[in-house]
């Protein structure tokens, strides 16, 4: 394929897999951060007239978005044919409503910003709640990779007699899909968010799942409070030790250690954001989507 792949720091595994699978050249990008925190981006590659793939998972987006913008503008200005952004984790999708007076709906502006400098986007299970599709907020073609098949095969391999548990109504879309793939029961709990770092969970119907292994599934683990509160609740109602699965492992500050401390039996995340909990590989699914998209 006549393609060049650039990867932001931290995305080397996926960049190497893409480059090997598609026989694409690896472009070199260096991002220098000045003491005043401005960035200088430098690239090396012969890319004019070629398909360009930029891999940048967008956790910590505020640090990444300007260097990404500079890179993409330069690539287009110098004659890149098309520019595909692979952002396995797509940031800012949770702020999809003005929850309090004067709050800005960042999801819409972030989508408009990305749409203004890349030609297409590939991402994994974006957080879609009030928006039903990325098409509602992006003006470029967006390709969504679903992690459910990878998660299903991990659960089939590792967990006996699972009952899937979604901590809130938004998780129903992922939980119900995986449950149907592995023919397991599922329960969606009620979550009330009290603040950034505090949530209240309720699970009215626990008795009938005593012999199952509870598997909590969520798209994003950030402070891990959603998972931790859910585990506490499952302990109170005497369910077996819990398995936690997250698609996107943000794990801010010491969230991962806190989750381990809460005695989650196993914690597994997809490798959309590099983290030591990555046990579920979605890179092949991303590469397949890229193949279908740009070949």
Should residue 94 be labelled a site residue for ligand R5P when binding is judged by CB under 6 A?
Answer: yes
Should residue 277 be labelled a site residue for ligand R5P when binding is judged by CB under 6 A?
Answer: no
CB of 5 to ligand R5P, least distance (A): 30
Kindly state the number of chain residues that form the binding site for ligand R5P, as judged by CB under 6 A. Answer: 14
Should residue 147 be labelled a site residue for ligand R5P when binding is judged by CB under 6 A?
Answer: no
Name the strand (E) or helix (H) holding 231.
helix 225-236
**Whole-angstrom Cα distance, residue 214 to residue 221?**
17
Closer residue to ligand R5P (CB): 47 or 89? 89
Should residue 170 be labelled a site residue for ligand R5P when binding is judged by CB under 6 A?
Answer: yes
Should residue 52 be labelled a site residue for ligand R5P when binding is judged by CB under 6 A?
Answer: no
**Whole-angstrom Cα distance, residue 27 to residue 4?**
6
Should residue 59 be labelled a site residue for ligand R5P when binding is judged by CB under 6 A?
Answer: no
In the shown chain, the binding pattern of residues 198 to 237 toward ligand R5P, with x for contact by CB under 6 A and - for none, equals: -x------------------xxxxxxxxx-----------
Long-range (24+ apart) CB contacts under 8 A made by 185-194 are: 185/209, 185/212, 187/163, 189/165, 189/230, 189/233, 191/167, 191/226, 191/229
CB of 53 to ligand R5P, least distance (A): 28
Q: CB atoms < 10 A from the CB of 132, how many?
A: 8
**Whole-angstrom Cα distance, residue 137 to residue 112?**
7
**Whole-angstrom Cα distance, residue 170 to residue 12?**
31
If DSSP states are collapsed to H, E and C, what string results for 64-112?
HHHHHHHHHHHHHHCCCCEEEEEECCCCCCCCCCCCCCCCCCHHHHHHH
Closer residue to ligand R5P (CB): 213 or 223? 223
Should residue 189 be labelled a site residue for ligand R5P when binding is judged by CB under 6 A?
Answer: no
CB of 9 to ligand R5P, least distance (A): 24
Should residue 177 be labelled a site residue for ligand R5P when binding is judged by CB under 6 A?
Answer: no
CB of 144 to ligand R5P, least distance (A): 16
Residues forming the site for ligand R5P (CB under 6 A): 94, 127, 168, 170, 199, 218-226
């Amino acid at each position: 394929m006549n393609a060049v792949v650039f990867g932001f720091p931290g995305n080397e595994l996926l960049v190497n897999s893409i480059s090997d699978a598609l026989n694409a050249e690896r472009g070199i990008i260096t991002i220098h951060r000045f003491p005043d925190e401005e960035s200088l981006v430098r690239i090396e590659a012969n890319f004019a007239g070629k398909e360009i793939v930029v891999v940048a998972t967008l956790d910590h987006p505020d640090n990444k978005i300007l260097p990404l913008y500079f890179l993409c503008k330069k690539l287009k200005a110098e004659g890149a044919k098309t520019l595909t952004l692979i952002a396995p984790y797509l940031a800012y999708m949770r702020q999809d409503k003005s929850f309090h007076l004067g709050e800005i709906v960042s999801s819409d502006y972030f989508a408009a910003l990305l749409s203004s400098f890349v030609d297409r986007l590939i991402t994994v299970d974006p957080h879609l709640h009030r928006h039903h599709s990325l098409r509602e907020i992006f003006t470029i073609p967006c390709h969504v990779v679903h992690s459910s098949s990878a998660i299903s095969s991990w659960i089939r391999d590792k967990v006996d007699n699972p009952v899937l548990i979604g901590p809130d109504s938004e998780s129903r879309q992922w939980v119900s899909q995986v449950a149907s793939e592995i023919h397991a029961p599922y329960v969606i709990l009620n979550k009330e968010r009290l603040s950034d770092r505090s949530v209240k969970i309720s699970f009215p119907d626990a008795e009938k799942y005593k012999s199952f292994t509870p598997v909590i599934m969520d798209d994003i683990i950030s402070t891990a409070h959603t998972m931790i509160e859910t585990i506490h609740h499952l302990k109170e109602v005497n369910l077996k030790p819990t398995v936690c699965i997250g698609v996107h492992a943000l794990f801010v500050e010491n969230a991962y250690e806190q989750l381990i401390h809460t005695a989650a039996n196993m914690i597994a995340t997809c490798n959309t954001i590099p983290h030591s909990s990555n046990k579920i590989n979605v890179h092949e699914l991303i590469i397949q989507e890229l193949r279908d998209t740009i070949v």
